[in-house]
Structure 1
Amino acid sequence: MSIAFIGLGIMGSPMAANLVRAGYDVTGYDVTQDRVDQLVDRGGHAARSVAEAVKGADTVITMLPDSPQVEQVAPTIVDHGGPDLLYIDMSTIRPDTSRWIAGQGIRSLDAPVSGGEKGAIDATLSIMVGGDPQDFERALPLLKAVGKTIVHVGPSGAGQTVKAANQLVVGGIYGLVAEAIVLLEASGVDPGKGLDVLAGGLAGSRILELKRRSMVAREFAPGFRIDLHHKDMGIALAAAREAGLALPLTGQVAQLVAAARAQGHGALDHSALLKVIERLNS
C-alpha cells in the first residue's frame, strides 16, 4: 500500500517513520524541507507538493495543526486522489470540519490521536476513529503501525469529539498535578517523593507516569505545545456549546491554558501549566 503523509511535525514525523518501518511505501510532504529530508533518510520518499504526494497513493494521511490547514489541503487531496483513495485525517480539528470532509465525495476517516511525542515515537498512540466501519477496517492494519489502542467510535466527526473529551481531561490533570507540586513544595515536602506516591495510588495516571519528574525539574521541552492545547480547548468548548452543555471545569482549564499562552509560554509543553499556578501564588 502506498501512503501519502502530509504534515511531518513533532507527531507526524515519527508516525510516518513507523509506517515506513512497517513496510509501507510512504511519500511525505511538509512545508519545512528538513522534515521531508528526515523521512527520506528513514526510507521514505519526498514530494514537492501535496498534489505530488497524493498522486497515485492508495491512502492519504494528514497530521496538521488546525482546521484551516486541513481545509486548505483537502480540496487538493480530492482533486488529485484516485477514485478509491482513502483519506485519513489524524489532526485534531473541529468535528464539523471532519463532517465537511466526509461530504466532499471522498472516503474519509477522522482519526485524531493521543499519547504525545513519545507515543508517536513508540507507536503506542491511542487512536479514536470516526467514519464508515468498512473504511475503518481497511485502515486498521496501517493504524496498528502507529498506535496501540485503536477504536472506531462512531460516524464522521465522532473521533474529533472523543479527542476533545481527551484534551479536556488531559488539561485538567496537568492543572491538578501543577497544584499538587505547588502545595507540596510550599509545605516543605519533597515533590518528587510525593508524586511518586501519588503515581502508585488511585491518583495515578499516564501523565504522572511520564511527566512528574520533568515537571518537578521545570523542564518544559515541547512534546505537545501550549499553543496547540489552547486550540484544542477551544474545540472542546465549541463542542459543549453545540451539545447545549455546561462544562464548568473545562472552562476553567481552558482559562489556565489561555493564561499560559498569554504569559508567553505557548511554545512550551502543556505541562508548563505549572508556571501559571506558580505565578498565581508568587
Structure 2
Amino acid sequence: MNIGFIGLGVMGRPMAEHLIAAGHTLALHRVKDPSRHLVEQGGKSLGSARAVAEASDVIILMLPDTPDVETVLFGPDGVAEGLSRGKLVIDMSSISPVATKDFAGRIEALGCDYLDAPVSGGDVGAKNAALTIMVGGKRAVFDKALPLLQLMGKNITLVGDNGDGQTAKVANQIIVGLNIAAVAEALLFASKAGADPAKVREALMGGFAASRVLEVHGERMVKRTFDPGFRIRLHRKDLSLAVDAAKALNIALPNAAATQQLMNAAIARGDGDRDHSALIQTLEALAGDPG
C-alpha cells in the first residue's frame, strides 16, 4: 500500500520501519537526521503534510499533542487539503478524546475514514512491533486497517467509536503514571532505609508487586538510565487530559492529580525531557538528596 507517516520521533521511527520492512511504500514528512535512514530504506521524503496525503491511501500520524495533530490535519498544506474520497487517516498519537471526535467528523465530512489508535508499550514495544493499540472507530474501517496495525502491535482492540481509543489511552496513562510513582517511592524508601534498591527490586519481582513498570522502569531507576523512552513532559500531558476530563465529568481522580503535580515538579527541575522513570529524582530531591 501507499502509506503516509507523519511523526518520526522515538516511537514513530521504528513503527515506520516495520511498515517499510513489510513492503509498503512510505511517504514521509518532517524527516530529520535521526530518521534519515528511513529514506535510505526506501521511504520518500515529501515537503508537506498535504503532499503526503496526496501520495497515500492511508495516512498515519504519531505526534506529541492535540494542537500538533490539529495543525498537521487542518493547517495550511495540511493532510485535509490532500485527501480524496475513500482515504483513511489513522491517528496513533495520544491526544484529547473530545478533540478526536471533532477531528474524525471533519475528516469523514470529506468522504474519508478516521481511526484513533493510540499506543502503549514505549520505545521497546515500538522496536519489537509489540505495541498495545487501542482503537476508536467503525468496525469496517478497523477491519480494513488491522493488517497494518498488526505490523506495529500485538494486542489490538477496537474499544468503541471515535474517541474511545483515546479514552482507553488516558486510562492506560493513569495506571502507568501511578505505577511509576509507586515504584519510585518504594525504591527510594528502600535506599533510605539502608537496603540495596537493586536487590529489593529483584525480590519484589517474584511477588504480587511484580509489574512491567517495576521490571523495566525499576531497572532504569536502579541503573540511572533516564534517556527517553517516554518523556515526563509527554506523560504529564496525558495526565492533564485525565485531570481535565475528571473535572468535566465531576469525578475525583486524586492520585492521578497528585502524580501530575509530581511531574510538574520534575519539569520545573529540568527533567521534562528525561524518561518518566526519572520521576524518582524528584522524590529524591524532596527527600533532601542533591542533584
Same fold (TM over 0.5): yes
Residue 89 of structure 2 is matched in structure 1 by 87
The residue type equivalent to 1:55 in the other structure is E
The reply to whether residue 67 of structure 1 matches residue 66 of structure 2 is yes
1:252: how far off? 0.6
Q: Distance in 2 between matches of 1:208 and 1:51?
A: 43
Q: TM-score, normalised by structure 2?
A: 0.94
Instruction: Could you list the structure 1 runs, at least 4 aligned residues long, displaced by more than 6 angstroms after superposition.
Output: none
**Residue by residue, what CA displacement relative to the aligned partner does 1:9-33 show, whole Å, maximum 9, x if unpaired?**
1111110001111221111111x53
Residue 3 of structure 2 is matched in structure 1 by 3
Residue 119 of structure 1 is matched in structure 2 by 125
Tell me if structure 2 keeps the 8 A contact 1:168–1:233: yes
Residue 53 of structure 1 is matched in structure 2 by 52
1:179: how far off? 0.7
The residue type equivalent to 1:272 in the other structure is A
**Residue by residue, what CA displacement relative to the aligned partner does 1:200-228 show, whole Å, maximum 9, x if unpaired?**
22111111222222211222111011111
Tell me if structure 2 keeps the 8 A contact 1:161–1:239: no
Q: Distance in 2 between matches of 1:26 and 1:190?
A: 48
The residue type equivalent to 1:137 in the other structure is D
Q: Distance in 1 between matches of 2:171 and 2:89?
A: 23
Q: Distance in 1 between matches of 2:6 and 2:62?
A: 6
Tell me if structure 1 keeps the 8 A contact 2:120–2:131: yes
SS of alignment partner, residue 220 of structure 1: coil
SS of alignment partner, residue 10 of structure 2: coil
The residue type equivalent to 1:12 in the other structure is G
1:244: how far off? 2.0
Q: How large is the RMSD of aligned CA atoms in angstroms? A: 1.2
Q: 1:188 aligns with which of 168, 187, 194?
A: 194
The residue type equivalent to 2:17 in the other structure is A
Q: Distance in 1 between matches of 2:34 and 2:5?
A: 12
1:36: how far off? 4.6
Q: Distance in 2 between matches of 1:200 and 1:82?
A: 54
The residue type equivalent to 1:142 in the other structure is L
The residue type equivalent to 2:128 in the other structure is D
What percent identity do the matched residue pairs reach? 45
Q: Distance in 2 between matches of 1:200 and 1:22?
A: 38
Q: TM-score, normalised by structure 1?
A: 0.97
**Residue by residue, what CA displacement relative to the aligned partner does 1:163-194 show, whole Å, maximum 9, x if unpaired?**
11111111111111111111111112111111
Tell me if structure 2 keeps the 8 A contact 1:17–1:44: no
Q: Which runs of 5+ in 1 are unaligned?
A: none
Tell me if structure 2 keeps the 8 A contact 1:37–1:46: no
The residue type equivalent to 1:102 in the other structure is A
The residue type equivalent to 1:16 in the other structure is A
* Aligned 1:79-228 pairs, distance under 5 A: 79-104=81-106, 105=109, 106-228=112-234
Residues paired across the two proteins, number: 281
Q: Which runs of 5+ in 2 are unaligned?
A: none
**Residue by residue, what CA displacement relative to the aligned partner does 1:92-149 show, whole Å, maximum 9, x if unpaired?**
1101111011111231011000011111111100000001111111110000000011
1:35: how far off? 4.2
SS of alignment partner, residue 27 of structure 1: strand
